[in-house]
Amino acid sequence: MSELLPWQQTQWQLLQASRAQNRLPHALLLTGPQGLGKEIFARLFAQSLLCESPDNNTLPCGECRYCQLYQAGNHPDISLVMPLEGKKAISVDQIRQLGQFVILKSQYSGYKVVIISPAETMNINASNSLLKTLEEPSAETLLLLVTHQPAQLPATIRSRCQEIRFGSADAVAGREWLVQQLPNNADIDLLLAQADNAPLKALQLAQEGALEQRQTLLADLEQLSTRKFDPVTLAARCNKVGLILSLNSLYSWTVDMIRLKSTGQQAPHTANPDLHDRLLKLANQVSLTGLFQLQDRIRQALQEHERNLNPALIMESVLIQWQNTFCAKNRKIA
């Protein structure tokens, strides 16, 4: 995908104006929720800096020798830094190699661009190493750091970057774009609701078959509540589907149950309108306190996953708490 996404116009024009005035900073921090295409934007902006003849809107032409080199992944003046295959973190070695790239002159006498994504995955040594590069910027080198969790980056790095913020996508533009990507999909609005209105996240959910999987998962959880199913078997099934996908569904349902329960059935903004009746039925079986405790446990599980704890154990412990929350002998109608 190498297009300017329709909800990114403001950020694009801002940066192109800085560029036209030769006022681009040495480092940009692209922040905002996941699923808005920040990395796609960073790549397109990089290509526009390398392109020989960008069009009127400053979009890369896609045809010049530099665009062709870029598209083939062979342009020597761009460096993409991301976690290596099978790794979760960007290592200090990767950032040290960047130090070399930054001091060398551009091969084509233009810009050199570095994209670090997701920037929050740099470990502490990698961050320290990057700081040296940021403290001694070299001319015509632009660093683009992409992150949805800027608070996880050291303040010393954040303060040396200009932040470009991507807020939520324009709802109409985001929906239109998703309809173009999924012309035969009848669940556009549900996908967007599930994805917090982030269009690329919604597209990914559709490609993963997330809506179908969550129907099955909820049916299994209803069985779990009546003890017709056991947490260990279900945990294995969840991990097959994907731990994050399963935990995110559980989290989203718990939040909706809290909303349904605390607003007396009239919850205007639930993320799962299609499951309203089933979630309300579950919510009515338990106390609000139980639901809040469950929400905390799922949030904690998502953090445990980031710390690389055993996925099977994480899922089992969440499901055991789910079962205990909903099982008949613990029910408290509040």
Binding site for Zn ion (CB under 5 A): 51, 60-61, 64, 67
- Closer residue to Zn ion (CB): 75 or 261: 75
Query: Measured from the CB of residue 47, what is the shortest distance to Zn ion in angstroms?
Result: 7
Token pair of 211 as six digits: 């809506």
- Tokens, residue 51: 């392109």
Please say whether the beta carbons of 243 and 315 come within 8 A: yes
Least distance to Zn ion from the beta carbon of 82, Å? Answer: 24
Helix runs in the chain, H state only = 9-20, 38-50, 65-71, 92-103, 124-135, 155-158, 171-181, 188-194, 199-207, 210-225, 231-241, 243-262, 276-283, 288-306, 311-326
Cβ distance to Zn ion smaller for residue 64 or 327: 64
Cβ closest to Zn ion, residue 51 vs residue 143: 51
Q: In angstroms, what is the minimal distance from the CB of 67 to Zn ion?
A: 3
Tokens 């040396």, residue? Answer: 160
- Using DSSP's 3-state secondary structure scheme, residue 271 falls into coil
CB of 66 to Zn ion, least distance (A): 6
C-beta of 83 vs 110, nearer to Zn ion: 110
**Least distance to Zn ion, CB of residue 2, Å:** 11
Sheet of strand 112-116: strand arrangement: 78-81, 112-116, 141-147, 27-31, 162-165
Q: Which is nearer to Zn ion, 35 or 60 (CB)?
A: 60
Cα 240 from Cα 219, distance rounded (Å): 16
Left if phi > 0, otherwise alpha if psi is -120 to 50, otherwise beta: which for 62? left
Q: For residues 235 and 308, what is the distance between their CA atoms, to the nearest angstrom?
A: 17
Q: Where are the alpha helices (DSSP H) in 58-103?
A: 65-71, 92-103
User: Smallest distance from the beta carbon of 116 to Zn ion, in angstroms?
Assistant: 24
Of residues 51 and 193, the one with the C-beta less far from Zn ion:
51
